[in-house]
Amino acid sequence: MELICPLCNGLIEYNIECRLCNEKMEDKGRIADYYDNYSSYLDMNITELIDKVEYDKCVHLFVCSNCNNDKRIAIDKI
């Protein structure tokens, strides 16, 4: 069976708090989607991160709606 990301498929909610202002951070979706569309805008850190990501992880971008702090979280596929 193919592994799926529980977050992409709406099976779980992943709530994290912004470390700067403690507001809830919003899931903006898979980094890979950004990578496809905006690869020229991405910095090296993201590109490296994607290269290193294993097949069983899905990396999501979370952004704080309050202060725009962003964070990348690798979600374990199930």
Please report, as ranges, the residues that interact with Zn ion according to CB under 5 A: 5, 7-8, 18, 20-21, 23, 30, 58, 64, 66-67, 69
* Residue nearer to Zn ion on the CB measure, 45 or 68: 68
* Residue nearer to Zn ion on the CB measure, 18 or 46: 18
* Residue nearer to Zn ion on the CB measure, 30 or 42: 30
Are residues 66 and 17 in contact, defined by beta-carbon separation less than 8 angstroms? no
Taking the C-alpha atoms of residue 49 and residue 39, their distance in angstroms, rounded to an integer, is 13
- Within 21-73, where are the H helices? 31-38, 44-52
Strand, helix or coil for residue 73: strand
Least Å distance, CB 58 to Zn ion, is: 3
